[in-house]
Amino acid sequence: MKKYLLSFCLLASFTTVTVAQRQGDPKLTEVWSPAPKVITPGVTAHNAPSDAVVLFGGTDASAWEGVNGGAVKWKVEDNAMTVAGGTGNIKSKQGFSDCQLHIEWRTPAIVKGEGQGRGNSGIFFMGLYELQVLDNYNNVTYSNGQAGSIYKQRMPLVNASRKPGEWQTYDVVFTAPRFNEDGTVKAAARITVLHNGVLVQNNIEIWGATEYIGTPGYTKHADKLPFILQDHGDAVSYRNIWVRALQ
């Protein structure tokens, strides 16, 4: 009897979540507790190896375009490419599948806003799977939306954030999802992320394309797709972006 009661409760709560999700409550997919432990990263520096595709070295944004085409409208100055709020996301002209990515990013030194409204951007692998970029230095937000999270899916193992205005690094190994002919998932995407040289995602499974509201899922797509960098309205800068294609 106890077992049936438990099943009923689980079903009831699942139904409640499903109905509420249809009504579009983004809070349903926020996880606030536990929060990742805060640690202090060491010093890191990574130059592109000889077999890497350099997507941005500091002055030339020609490997990128607006997400709907056209030249990048972000600011390219001081050896960085900085989000010009409202100009839109940008995407790499080249598509990638399995890869190793190095990317450096910096949130504004002058802190404005809080939570998700503070130094927010993001790196979408294959244009679909977001590794969150956020000023998470003494900034509380939901755990699975922190810097180093797979947004709204997987919280980072620790919070290795540097101060606002300081350059930070991500080193990532990404394995693209594989699909069957009929569109079903053969293998989910996987990702390993080092934030400022510290492991924050250890070969974890990505649950599907990033969703702000509702649960993620997979839809069959091309083998290679571009990176997208997010314009979330905050002046986040990028530099030293290089990729080693593994597929």
Nearer to Mg ion, 122 or 164 (CB): 122
Q: Which residue is nearest to Mg ion (CB)?
A: 122
Q: Strand 121-125 to strand 225-229: parallel, antiparallel, or no bridges (unpaired)?
A: antiparallel
Nearer to Mg ion, 175 or 230 (CB): 230
* 237, containing H or E segment: strand 237-245
Nearer to Mg ion, 150 or 157 (CB): 150
Q: Which one, of 82, 130, 131, 120, lies nearest residue 237 by Cα?
A: 82
Task: Give me the amino acid identity at 243.
Answer: V
- Grouping H, G, I as helix, E, B as strand and the rest as coil, residue 13 is helix
Nearer to Mg ion, 92 or 230 (CB): 230
> Exposed (0-12), middle (13-18) or buried (19+): which is 40, by Cβ within 10 Å?
exposed
Residues pairing with 174 in the sheet: 99, 191
Which residues form the interface with Mg ion (CB under 5 A)? 120, 122, 230
> Exposed (0-12), middle (13-18) or buried (19+): which is 230, by Cβ within 10 Å?
buried
Residues pairing with 125 in the sheet: 129
Phi, psi angle pair for 187, to nearest 5° = -150, 130
Nearer to Mg ion, 36 or 122 (CB): 122
